[in-house]
Amino acid sequence: MDAGPGARRGGLVKANIVVLPGDGVGPEVVNAALSVLATVCDADDAQVSIDVRCIGGRAIDEFGMPLPDETLDACKAADAVLLGAVGGPAWDHLRGEHRCEAGLLRLRRELDVFANVRPVKVHPHLTDRTSLRPEVTRGTDLVIVRELTGGAYFGQPRGRTGTGPDEIARDSIVYSAGEIDRVARVAFELAQSRRGQLISIDKANVLITSQLWREVVTALAPEYPDVSLTHELVDSFAMRLVREPATIDVVVAENLFGDILSDEAAVLVGSLGLLPSASLGASDQGLYEPIHGSAPSLAGRGVVNPYGAILSVAMLLRHSLHRDDLAVAIESAVDVCITEDVLTADLGGAASTDAVADAVAREALRHLGARSGAAS
């Protein structure tokens, strides 16, 4: 990468991002996020090239497979990947490796993005927009670190055999000590940078893989003396998550548990559409996506919430491009826009997808302008 203005702040000024719009509302939220990204990059002379590729249902329709080799090769060569969502009723009849979700799972495995980081922060203006009492959700600021390339989603053997009442379906939960160690280190280091509290989730009273999980995480704790580690069973923690979320800092969990818990956490903030995620590995490259699905019933109506996708772009700027300054501009803009009731229908507002993106872009520009003025 060339040196330039961004390099003075420790980040990249040239980057190649592969964009996978996906299915359903995916293209709408991705386009909204890209408009914000373009705004902040243009304002700072950061050059970001966009390479749009197919995944999921659209890829099945055009190429006969959910993740074409051309898409995978482009993703491997990119500095970062931005994803919408995949799947929908048109492809639900497909099985095994032909399903839309199989392409996403393969992409995660091939990129080796083993740690999915999902921040969950309740905006003060939205404490009355959830099904929980405001005094329960107020002050919630937690992060769920989900192991992403192991467990039941990838374990072998798996499949279906037999027919009729004798048909058997089988999934396997498989983890190595090394897989657990590397994702736990991400969580420990994240806890070090926050409030120093880490909760490890398992089902060690029943599952052998959870017993290994607990042993490996416990063995790491002495390397992080400034982090307080506790272990909780997934079922009891699921209740704690909605009863006292403000007491939680960082959570680390295996793939299936982390998937379920992070979706449950959406009730805290008011909508799945608000939550971003970053899937990270050993390199700077990452896969970024809002945690919601393709929501085909909302597609094409211009009403879907793009905040999760926009905040995913902020995470992309921070983690893969090392442009924390631009990430902060976007995050600050989102905070202001939510405070000013720029909300889509899922949050009780009337703003369109594009209106939200335009408002965030304008506010981000104001933030960057104020920053430049302060620096001069």
| pLDDT for res 144 | 98
Task: Return the half-sphere exposure (C-beta side, CA atoms, 13 A cut-off) of residue 49.
Answer: 9
| pLDDT for res 11 | 57
Task: Return the half-sphere exposure (C-beta side, CA atoms, 13 A cut-off) of residue 333.
Answer: 31
Which structural domains are found in the chain, ordered by start?
Answer: 1-118+273-376 (3.40.718.10), 130-269 (3.40.718.10)
**173 within 8 A of 151, measured Cβ to Cβ:** yes
CA–CA separation, 69 vs 71, rounded Å?
A: 5
Q: What's the DSSP call for residue 54?
A: -
| pLDDT for res 140 | 96
Counting residues of the chain whose pLDDT is more than 70, the rounded percentage is 95
What's the 3-state SS for 211-277? HHHHHHHHHHHHHCCCCEEEEEEHHHHHHHHHHCHHHCCEEEECHHHHHHHHHHCHHHHCCHHHCCC
| pLDDT for res 44 | 87
| pLDDT for res 365 | 96
**309 within 8 A of 29, measured Cβ to Cβ:** yes
Q: Which residues pair with 250 in a beta bridge?
A: 143, 198
| pLDDT for res 115 | 98
Q: What are the residue numbers of the active site?
A: 153, 203, 235, 259, 263
Q: How confident is the model at residue 1 (pLDDT cuts 50, 70, 90)?
A: very low
| pLDDT for res 46 | 86
Q: What is the mean pLDDT of the chain?
A: 93
Work out the widest C-alpha separation in the chain, in whole angstroms: 75
For the cut 60, the answer to whether the pLDDT of residue 229 exceeds it is: yes
Task: Return the half-sphere exposure (C-beta side, CA atoms, 13 A cut-off) of residue 371.
Answer: 15
| pLDDT for res 51 | 97
Counting residues of the chain whose pLDDT is more than 90, the rounded percentage is 91
140-161 residue pLDDT tens = 999 999 999 999 999 999 999 9
Residues 6+ apart with CB under 8 A from 166: none
320-354 residue pLDDT tens = 999 999 999 999 999 999 999 999 999 999 999 99
Residues 6+ apart with CB under 8 A from 139: 122, 246
Residues 6+ apart with CB under 8 A from 95: none
302-324 residue pLDDT tens = 999 999 999 999 999 999 999 99
8-67 residue pLDDT tens = 344 556 899 999 999 999 999 999 999 999 999 999 888 999 999 999 999 999 999 999
For the cut 80, the answer to whether the pLDDT of residue 6 exceeds it is: no
For the cut 70, the answer to whether the pLDDT of residue 376 exceeds it is: no
One-letter amino acid identity for 218? T
Higher pLDDT, 1 or 240: 240
Q: How confident is the model at residue 174 (pLDDT cuts 50, 70, 90)?
A: very high
| pLDDT for res 96 | 86
| pLDDT for res 375 | 53
Query: Would you tell me the crossing angle of helices 100-111 and 69-77 to the nearest 10 degrees?
Result: 30
For the cut 70, the answer to whether the pLDDT of residue 369 exceeds it is: yes
Q: How confident is the model at residue 374 (pLDDT cuts 50, 70, 90)?
A: low
84-120 residue pLDDT tens = 999 999 999 998 889 999 999 999 999 999 999 999 9
Least confident of 3-7, 332-336, 370-374: 3-7
Q: Phi/psi at 48 (nearest 5 deg)?
A: -120, 120
Mean pLDDT value across residues 280-285: 94
Q: Which residues pair with 200 in a beta bridge?
A: 231, 252
CA–CA separation, 163 vs 100, rounded Å?
A: 24
CB 131: neighbour CB atoms within 10 A? Answer: 9
| pLDDT for res 13 | 66
Instruction: Supply the pTM of this predicted model.
Output: 0.91
* CA terminus-to-terminus distance, the chain: 27
